[in-house]
Structure 1
């Protein structure tokens, strides 16, 4: 059934405060603002979702950090739902294998990542899901869209997220000046450790144990940010770093390899061979020697990040189209 005909929407969301749940809260807010009543059914921390006939029963979690962390998105907590065709139920990719369970509703899978979805490890189950004409697919990244298409999907609709406005509103006019190399040790730790061990002249600045404000201060002052992760989706930290004025280097994996997701020249992408040969270190040294020149080359990325909120709203409006009166 067309999303234009939906009367309500419910997103299923784990009770963790990471990039995916934040994206869910962002889109739920925009859908509410654009006229489709949307709530969020949380699971985890004692919260449980179960079916009672044609009803989705939501047993609320004892603790739900999302409500405080994402209060600015004004989340509406789902009390449960009847599974009817005019009710859109949106599953994060980690629950994609459960899509047939909710057959009474109109079901969509939102591919916030590819590599983190368990069903991707089961090609036969994935093919069955993608062949199911009753399930829609939304994609957060060009990487996800391309993966589904190459795997046999019939098509998907783009549905993104947006970078925290405290970054997107910065509009830096010159590169950051502190000559460090910021990185996230939670992703690609082995590569990062080997890289900095082989290049002791580069001062690595791990983003670890910091508040959001401390991360913002770091990314708005440090000259270079390197992401050693595998980019299961369009990750937030490199976008935040670019918006903060850092020159960003991306591992050529997953969404990091796609110009649609990160519009930077190929000079700023690297692979394991570039690490081993010293090429990445030479490129970072070049940036440190002429930061203004390389900063200018990443203007398309900063512009894209600054426009993400408007892009998301346009995507939602395209999905909803001209809606009939309630």
Structure 2
């Protein structure tokens, strides 16, 4: 008998993690499985408008059962203990949020809960548990999981750049002297560069619809991200599909070629972030855009094939009898 699949997700959240979870639900249902979003908190109209297109049904609660599979993002592993009978698949969409959010939850507990509910029963710290399987999205996470003693084999599963960024995709891009950046990441470094390079238009990717972000990336020559990469971040991949060059740091998954496979010379270590060196590199990219963008073609092709790869990997993770 086919098992019911539930995908745990916070309601009304529009970030890379929830999008990946909805993409998984969409793929599972398109392959003939019975996948439903399980929102972690009650909210009226819990589906964020960005994800209604995936058309995945949703519920607010389920019955724990051995005939149930629950997919749990690493940021919500505290739900593992709530469903002892169900199969649990932890999907590691980042590495850092696991520890950060676990510690945050512990700090919020009142004295009564801390006294009467044992710590090991409320948070998951890799205790032996044959009902738990781990999926990794990045090489960085894979190497972390390989240091743990686990009951089941780990498996790879990565999300993909949404179809919106492929719609009416031109063969050649009409680029302007624009540089985009995420104002939530490495803003102090960006502000300094903006003052040194006022000849370029600097556009923060904020307060935009998804269509506006896509159109902005399609006219930009360069996207800069000197922030921390907790997982395989979406915006840099969306930028590549949009014909934009990338310049990043090396923190988090950005340090791994499997996770961010752009040329190494465009991934800068902290000691290489001196203003004069970065300014010269940015000027080179902006002046020689067509030539430089060719250097990204291999990883751009990899990103363009992510949806096909995800479908094939889902088939391996859920083989049909």
The 5-angstrom pairing of residues 137-286 of structure 1 reads: 137-151=134-148, 155-168=153-166, 173-174=171-172, 177-276=175-274, 278-286=276-284
Is 1:62–2:41 an aligned residue pair?
no
Q: Structure 1, residues 72-117: CA drift from partner, whole Å, max 9, x if none?
A: 1111112532212221011111111332331111111111111122
Bigger RCO (CA 8 Å, 6+ sep): 1
Is 1:27–2:18 an aligned residue pair?
no
Q: Structure 1, residues 97-152: CA drift from partner, whole Å, max 9, x if none?
A: 33233111111111111112236877x97994164333111122222222222455
1:89 equivalent in structure 2 = 70
Q: CA deviation at 1:211?
A: 1.5
Q: CA deviation at 1:280?
A: 2.5
Contact 2:6–2:68 (CA<8 Å) still a contact in 1?
yes
Q: TM-score, normalised by structure 1?
A: 0.84
Q: Secondary structure at the match of 1:232?
A: coil
- Counting matched residue pairs gives 302
Q: CA deviation at 1:35?
A: 2.5
**Cα RMSD after superposing both structures:** 2.5
Q: TM-score, normalised by structure 2?
A: 0.85
2:110 equivalent in structure 1 = none
The 5-angstrom pairing of residues 100-111 of structure 1 reads: 100-111=81-92
Q: Secondary structure at the match of 2:96?
A: coil
Is 1:72–2:53 an aligned residue pair?
yes
Q: Secondary structure at the match of 2:78?
A: helix
2:106 equivalent in structure 1 = none
Structure 2: give runs of 5+ residues left out of the alignment.
Answer: 104-118
Runs of 4 or more off by more than 6 Å in structure 1?
119-122, 124-127
* Distance in 2 of aligned mates of 1:273 and 1:162: 32
Change (3 A) 1:244 1:301: same
Q: Which protein is richer in strand relative to its size?
A: 1
